[in-house]
Amino acid sequence: MFLYRYGAAGRLAAGESPAAARILLSDPFSVPPERWELGRPVDLSAVPLAPPAHPGKIVGIGRNYREHAAELGNPMPPEPLLFLKAPTSLIGHGAAVILPPESERVEYEGEIAVVVGRRLQRASEEEARAGLFGVTCACDVTARDLQRKDATFARGKSFDTFCPLGPAIRLGPPDGPLTVVTRVNGEERQRGSTDEMEWGLVELLVYVSRMMTLLPGDLLLTGTPAGVGPLADGDRIEVEVGGVGILANPVRRWEGA
Ligand code: MG
């Protein structure tokens, strides 16, 4: 089952595919999916999709794949490296990533995103697994030059449009390893699997919940595999998470306003 948000208001719908979606009448975080009340069918091929989560915070993980740490000349950290990305950077499937004039090198980072389903504070592994609402595709777009220049990642990670998310949330914890593939203009640039991660999805929720309480809707970007590279005006990025979906976004240069 997938959870979608659509239209300017970010209305909720659920179903096995965009063509088979129906309006969701229940609160997705207080009612378990098997008891969701569904209304009329809605044709999601005809309306723009919104980011499927509305997080209070986006927690990013740096260097969760050894090969990616090495390609940027960084050592593997002894524990997960956390950063925060502004929720205002979110865009949905199909919306444009805008290259800001303040950066000369904006890069894609295809990632598996975890959506939190319940309050997690110093969670046990069991609590974290139960609190994993679902997974979706994300691109952790990064102004690499500004990230390198600054002592924190805040600026380089948080420009408007720097967090494409979607197209939908696949509900529940994954039942096996997940793959993530990034393509630019149809050409494969990155390929990774949860099997290659230094810290797994549930382990990351446990870890992050020690520092900050995670709330329903919060988003965890779980790190990018090797193969990051620059984006240019006119590019099209695709991030595919196996069994979850394909997130596609065009790239445009900033044209003022
Ligand atoms: Mg990243």
151 C-alpha to center of ligand 1: Å?
Answer: 16
Q: Are residues 10 and 29 in the same domain?
A: yes
Q: At 256, is the pLDDT very low, low, confident or very high (cuts 50, 70, 90)?
A: confident
Q: Are residues 141 and 169 in the same domain?
A: yes
What is the pLDDT at residue 226? 95
| pLDDT at residue 43 tops 80 | yes
CB 237 within 8 A of CB 108: yes
199 C-alpha to center of ligand 1: Å?
Answer: 14
Q: Are residues 174 and 222 in the same domain?
A: yes
| pLDDT at residue 97 tops 90 | yes
Q: Are residues 118 and 159 in the same domain?
A: yes
Range 142-149, long-range pairs (CB < 8 A, 24+ positions): 142/106, 142/107, 142/109, 142/228, 143/100, 143/102, 143/103, 143/105, 143/106, 144/103, 144/105, 144/106, 144/107, 144/228, 144/230, 145/103, 145/104, 145/105, 146/102, 146/103
Q: What is the CATH number of the domain that holds 75?
A: 3.90.850.10
Q: What value does the mean pLDDT take over residues 89-107?
A: 98
Instruction: For 240-253, write each residue's pLDDT tens digit.
Output: 999 999 999 999 99
55 C-alpha to center of ligand 1: Å?
Answer: 17
Q: Are residues 64 and 46 in the same domain?
A: no
Rounded mean pLDDT of the chain?
96
Last residue of a domain, one of 50, 66, 86: 50
What is the pLDDT at residue 191? 97
43 C-alpha to center of ligand 1: Å?
Answer: 33
76 C-alpha to center of ligand 1: Å?
Answer: 14
Q: Are residues 164 and 205 in the same domain?
A: yes
109 C-alpha to center of ligand 1: Å?
Answer: 6
21 C-alpha to center of ligand 1: Å?
Answer: 31
24 C-alpha to center of ligand 1: Å?
Answer: 31
29 C-alpha to center of ligand 1: Å?
Answer: 26
Q: Give the structural domain span for 29.
A: 1-50
What is the pLDDT at residue 45? 85
Tell me the residues surrounding ligand 1 (ion) with CB < 5 Å: 109, 140, 224
Q: Are residues 33 and 147 in the same domain?
A: no
140 C-alpha to center of ligand 1: Å?
Answer: 5
Q: Are residues 101 and 164 in the same domain?
A: yes
Q: Are residues 74 and 33 in the same domain?
A: no
Q: Are residues 15 and 105 in the same domain?
A: no
Q: Are residues 38 and 165 in the same domain?
A: no
49 C-alpha to center of ligand 1: Å?
Answer: 23
224 C-alpha to center of ligand 1: Å?
Answer: 5
Instruction: For 123-178, write each residue's pLDDT tens digit.
Output: 999 999 999 999 999 999 999 999 999 999 999 999 999 999 999 999 999 999 99
Q: Are residues 237 and 224 in the same domain?
A: yes
Instruction: For 174-226, write each residue's pLDDT tens digit.
Output: 999 999 999 999 999 999 999 999 999 999 999 999 999 999 999 999 999 99
Q: What value does the mean pLDDT take over residues 1-10?
A: 94
Q: At 228, is the pLDDT very low, low, confident or very high (cuts 50, 70, 90)?
A: very high
CA within 13 Å, CB half, 101: 4
Q: Number of folded domains in the chain?
A: 2
Cβ-count burial 91-114 (b if 16+ within 10 Å, e if not): bbbebebbbeeebebbbbbbbbbb
| pLDDT at residue 46 tops 90 | no
| pLDDT at residue 81 tops 90 | yes
What is the pLDDT at residue 40? 97
